[in-house]
Amino acid sequence: MFARLLNETGVQGMDRGLSVADAFDEVFSFLRAVGNRDEYIYKSALTSKILLGRHSLNTASMLTEFRVGLSRADLIILNGTATVYEIKSERDSLKRLESQLDAYRKVFAQVCVIASEEFIDRTLQLAPTDVGVLALCGRHRITTVRKPQNAPGRVSPVALFESIRISEAKQILSNLGVEIPSVPNTQLHSALRAQFECLDPTAAHEQMVKVLKSSRSLIPLGYLVEKLPRSLHAAALTLNLPRKLHDNLIRAVNTPLERALRWL
């Protein structure tokens, strides 16, 4: 598929001395130009500038396409708190932004919108004042237009519960010293939900961060990320690739382009 796509995109004239990794980087440099950027480019900027730039895989974790109510959060970074980033690229609209932010503010202490510069003014109008607004500028730079407020007290423990796994909900209750309901599986969801209704929002959020950082840790992907080109870091951290295939992927991206084009 890689060889076919490389030919179809008309970049088969690349220097055959390059590797597959070089080809990805070269195409990525084209896609990140203003006007060409899609959601992946924004995720890549957040991955490199915030997750791997300010933090590390040892101290922070990242989730993508995380279900929150009727929405799916584009990207969440868990460090000392939980920060959700809603992406509005040049290819998006702001039609659903208000309902998305309303859902996210019930689950995450910090909420941010990262948008194309053309959307910034309108985003500032639509987003509540506690929501941060970031702009993805030229040269892949992230500029803070308005800082997010860290407000775990506004979180709804029930909305939080509905967004996580049952095993994670049990661990949160256990960490808070709350007894796990002993009921049949058919009644477990309702029983756990009732327990979460009684939780302090700040305490529930704090434990959610702690539990998700452990249950969805990215530490095992550290070696893979280190061996892949920067253009593929965001993909590597969201790709559910079995550990036994990591070395295969590393070998593939190091393949000379001349040989890779014969994969057809």
Higher pLDDT, 30 or 212: 212
Residue 217 half-sphere exposure, CB side, CA atoms within 13 Å?
Answer: 9
Query: Confidence class of residue 215 from pLDDT cuts 50, 70 and 90?
Result: very high
Torsion angle, CA of 208/210/211/214, rounded to 10 degrees?
150
Q: What percent of the chain has pLDDT over 90?
A: 83
Give the Cα separation of 22 and 198 in Å (integer).
53
CATH 3.40.1350 occupies which residues in the chain? 37-151
Give the Cα separation of 264 and 2 in Å (integer).
8
**Is 80 exceeded by the pLDDT of residue 135?**
yes
Long-range contacts of 247-255 (CB under 8 A, 24+ apart): 249/224, 250/224, 252/20, 253/19, 253/20, 253/21, 253/24, 253/228, 253/229, 254/19, 254/20, 254/21, 255/19, 255/20
Per-residue pLDDT of 69-101, as tens digits, reads 999 999 999 999 999 999 999 989 999 999 999
- C-alpha angle with apex 152: 201 to 43, nearest 5 degrees? 125
Q: What is the DSSP letter of 90?
A: T
Q: Which of 61, 25, 34, 49 is nearest to 214 (CA)?
A: 61
Query: Confidence class of residue 133 from pLDDT cuts 50, 70 and 90?
Result: very high
Give the strands of the sheet with 110-115, arranged side by side.
61-68, 71-78, 82-88, 110-115, 132-136, 142-146
Identify the CATH number of the domain defined by range 37-151: 3.40.1350
**Is 80 exceeded by the pLDDT of residue 264?**
no
Query: Confidence class of residue 8 from pLDDT cuts 50, 70 and 90?
Result: confident
Give the Cα separation of 123 and 117 in Å (integer).
10
β-sheet bridge partners, residue 77: 62, 83
